[in-house]
């Protein structure tokens, strides 16, 4: 109990202290983020990999409305908790060569966002989940609005409107479930136990799915993403792509599937169709991109589309693949955006046609970039392979044609990512890249860490699979049992 409370609120305490730290904010935020990672690893070491909820906290909060501060960790939530606490210090370290205006506010907002994310990933009370959902949005809005690039206000407003609109749909669904609950509380198990007919489950499905689909994003709710990823500061893009989109994936697994299995049964096929359309659409758009950052943004849509399809295929392989790929995608996409940030900091452009020959003058960066790209395109032996293999197996078990089309993400991804690598890193240097300097200091630390994770998780993914297996199996059994009752 005490460990989970400390895990959630340590970043919040760090945010407050960092905001007051002035010029030392960068160091203070690093210390708190590393401390949070150590605490998360301690919790992981003490976690028993079964289907139970552990480190549970259940304290009265707003008793008159049946709202408790109820949080806990199982295998599914532990994976995204570890991802969050792993990536935040990496993202903070990746900023060390930047001089942001008002750094105390910048780093405090990152830690504040971390608290919101951890609330989302551990909440067992729907009201607490919604509070975390909104709390994570506020800091990233200001990070993008204050430190973003050209036209950031218009782009950020579109992002904010999209996400707030989705959140309101979800809030309506939560309130409806609360009113249907005889116990008049927001407890997740009480929501699981509700006996709703197919019509009720259908509209609640859409209330939640729209919110989660916007956050991931899934076609056609994706239009905010490429502009926002491009205009946001590098660390903001890493937070959005590496961690924040996992909120939507996690929401589908934790809240949507178990609460409205009949709604998923009725509408899941449409969700898979939208996900697969997103894979092909985003991949084709990625081929045409001249800006490397936008290309990676569209590749993220394609990868998330496959994760979404695997979840709605609703079988052990698809669900396990989604869990593993959440972790792998978070690591890989942060690595990609960091490499592009390094390139931009040196030559002030991410235009692919303006680059070339960087491998000749920066071989260490070129090797690290290649490892990250290979992980992204799911080369066997890298972290991306096992997740995509399980996802495609799950989609294949759902339908062979769905798998055939979804599998295009691997072919398309290999083509546009390797072509980008070739144009940026290989060939002859030009007037921009001839003076390019290789990675050093914290750049090496961040990229070497990411590359090590890509290789280790690719060669030995068993601990991740073992961590989530029991919880995923329990979730599937629970949903199938409820679905049989409804039918």
Q: What does the pLDDT read at residue 438?
A: 87
316-347 helix and 292-313 helix, angle to the nearest 10 degrees: 170
- Give the count of alpha carbons within 13 A of 394, CB side only: 26
Identify the pLDDT of residue 21.
83
Nearest to 319 by CA among 87, 480, 122: 480
Rounded to a whole number of angstroms, the distance between the first and last alpha carbons of the chain is: 38
Can you read off the two tokens belonging to residue 74?
Answer: 């199982």
Contact 67, 125 (CB under 8 A): yes
CA distances in angstroms from 303 to 1, 178, 380, 407, 467, listed in the order given? 35, 34, 17, 11, 22
Question: How high is the pLDDT of residue 92?
Answer: 93
Q: What is the pLDDT of residue 108?
A: 93
Is the CB of residue 257 less than 8 Å from the CB of residue 479?
A: yes
Question: Bridge-partner residues for 62, per DSSP?
Answer: 67
Query: What are the beta bridge partners of residue 59?
Result: 69
Other beta carbons within 10 angstroms of residue 288's beta carbon come to 10
Report the alpha-carbon distance of residue 275 to residue 264 in Å, rounded: 14
Q: Where are the alpha helices (DSSP H) in 314-407?
A: 316-347, 358-361, 363-376, 383-398, 400-406
According to the model, what pLDDT value does residue 407 have? Answer: 83
Vertex 268, ends 331 and 176: CA angle to 5°?
Answer: 95
pTM above 0.75, yes or no: yes
pLDDT given for residue 428 in this prediction: 85
pLDDT, averaged in runs of 10, over the chain (487 residues):
87 92 88 94 90 88 87 92 94 88 91 94 93 90 83 81 88 92 88 86 92 88 83 88 90 91 88 91 89 90 90 89 91 93 88 87 92 91 90 89 84 90 87 86 92 93 88 87 70
Assess contact for 116 and 126: CB atoms under 8 A: no
Q: ∠ CA(278), CA(282), CA(284), 5° rounding?
A: 120
């Amino acid at each position: 109990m005490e460990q989970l409370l400390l895990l959630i609120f340590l970043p919040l305490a760090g945010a407050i202290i960092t905001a007051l730290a002035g010029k030392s904010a960068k160091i203070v935020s690093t210390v708190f983020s590393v401390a949070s990672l150590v605490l998360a690893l301690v919790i992981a070491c003490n976690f028993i990999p079964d289907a139970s909820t552990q480190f549970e906290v259940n304290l009265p909060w707003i008793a008159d409305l049946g709202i408790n501060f109820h949080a806990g960790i199982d295998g599914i939530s532990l994976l995204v908790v570890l991802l969050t606490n792993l990536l935040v210090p990496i993202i903070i370290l990746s900023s060390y060569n930047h001089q942001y205006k008002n750094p105390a506010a910048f780093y405090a907002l990152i830690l504040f966002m971390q608290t919101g994310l951890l609330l989302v990933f551990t909440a067992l009370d729907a009201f607490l989940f919604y509070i975390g959902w909104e709390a994570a949005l506020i800091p990233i809005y200001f990070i993008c609005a204050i430190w973003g690039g050209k036209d950031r206000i218009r782009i950020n407003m579109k992002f904010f409107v999209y996400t707030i609109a989705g959140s309101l749909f979800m809030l309506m669904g939560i309130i409806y479930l609360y009113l249907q609950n005889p116990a008049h509380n927001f407890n997740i198990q009480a929501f699981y136990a509700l006996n709703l007919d197919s019509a009720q489950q259908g509209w609640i499905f859409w209330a939640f799915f729209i919110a989660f689909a916007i956050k991931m994003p899934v076609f056609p709710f994706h239009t905010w993403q490429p502009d926002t990823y491009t205009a946001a500061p590098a660390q903001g893009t890493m937070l959005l792509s590496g961690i924040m989109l996992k909120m939507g994936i996690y929401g589908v697994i934790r809240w949507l599937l178990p609460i409205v299995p009949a709604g998923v049964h009725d509408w899941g096929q449409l969700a898979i169709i939208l996900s697969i359309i997103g894979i092909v659409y985003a991949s084709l758009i990625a081929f045409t991109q001249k800006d490397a950052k936008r290309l990676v943004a569209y590749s993220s849509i394609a990868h998330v589309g496959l994760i979404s399809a695997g979840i709605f295929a609703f079988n052990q392989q698809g669900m396990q693949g989604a869990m593993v790929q959440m972790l792998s995608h978070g690591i890989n996409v942060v690595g990609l955006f960091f490499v592009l940030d390094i390139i931009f900091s040196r030559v002030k452009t991410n235009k692919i046609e303006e680059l070339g020959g960087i491998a000749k003058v920066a071989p260490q960066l070129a090797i690290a970039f290649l490892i990250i790209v290979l992980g992204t395109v799911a080369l066997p032996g890298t972290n991306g392979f096992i997740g995509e293999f399980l996802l495609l197996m799950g989609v294949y078990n759902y339908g062979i044609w769905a798998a055939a089309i979804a599998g295009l993400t691997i072919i398309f991804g290999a083509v546009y990512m390797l072509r980008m690598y070739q144009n940026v890193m290989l060939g002859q240097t030009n007037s921009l890249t001839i003076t390019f300097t290789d990675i050093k200091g914290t750049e090496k630390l961040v990229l070497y860490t990411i590359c090590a994770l890509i290789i280790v998780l690719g060669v030995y993914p068993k601990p991740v699979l073992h961590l989530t297996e029991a919880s995923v199996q329990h979730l599937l059994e629970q949903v199938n049992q409820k679905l049989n009752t409804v039918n």
